[in-house]
A and B are shown apart, each in its own frame.
Chain A
Amino acid sequence: EVQLVESGGGLVQPGRSLKLSCAASGFTFSGYNMAWVRQAPKKGLDWVATILYDGSWTYYRDSVKGRFTISRDNAKSTLYLQMDSLMSEDTATYYCATHDNKGYWFPYWGQGTLVTVSS
């Protein structure tokens, strides 16, 4: 059974940093492109970043470019999201998700970790 378990969320002040982790199991993590998707309170879903299966390529939404870094450790089957210079607009539940091998839809999702950016 595929499992994606996010951790690392919490309350952080504007301008500070936070690092999210996503522990994957039940599938060959190193064979899949991975992503972070977020959902602000009472809002819809927003894709944040994608990383290729081997970590060789990454892509970000414009509003987080230069502030967020997606990375992975295939030996640990873990996905990361380093978030720097956090802003109140980054307040959201962050979901880890797999891409499919055949396209950029999201077959599997975690249950999310809440990040609140507030002073």
Chain B
Amino acid sequence: VQMTQSPSYLAASPGESVSISCKASKRIRNNVAWYQEKPGKANKLLIHSGSTLQSGTPSRFSGSGSGTDFTLTIRSLESEDFAVYYCQQYDEFSFTFGSGTKLEVK
């Protein structure tokens, strides 16, 4: 299953809301997770099962979608949210990730 993630780059200001999209090459139910990557830190799981927030994930993060189209939305961006984000499908082996979205300060 290929995961097509967009955009690859996103510039926004603190307080704004942004959305990141992942499109699967076949239907994968809601078997999608979202991760945050920051330099020098371990990758952080934000959301699994399409929309379930991992314990500790701030409520300004939300996930939606099912089938082939999935979205990560971050409302009211805070300074710590500027990072790289990846989606991942786990509906079938081989598990695959999107190509990443770099979220930078405008």
Contact = CB atoms under 8 A, between A and B. Distances in A.
A binds B: yes
A25 to B, nearest CB: 14
A27 interface: no
Interface residues of A, number: 21
Contact of A106 (B40, B41, B43, B49): B43
B43 A95 contact: yes
Interface string A35-46: 000000000111
Nearest to A97: B43
A66 to B, nearest CB: 15
A45 B44 CA distance: 13
Nearest to A59: B93
B98 A44 contact: yes
B43 A44 contact: no
Contacts, number: 56
A111 B31 CA distance: 25
Interface of B: 31, 33, 35, 40-45, 48-49, 54, 86, 88, 90, 93-100
The 4 nearest A-B residue pairs measured at CB: A104-B90, A105-B33, A47-B95, A45-B97
29 contacts: A4-B42, A44-B86, A44-B97, A44-B99, A45-B35, A45-B88, A45-B100, A47-B94, A47-B96, A50-B93, A50-B95, A62-B94, A95-B43, A97-B43, A103-B31, A103-B48, A103-B49, A104-B31, A104-B90, A105-B45, A105-B49, A105-B88, A106-B88, A107-B45, A107-B54, A108-B45, A109-B44, A111-B40, A111-B42
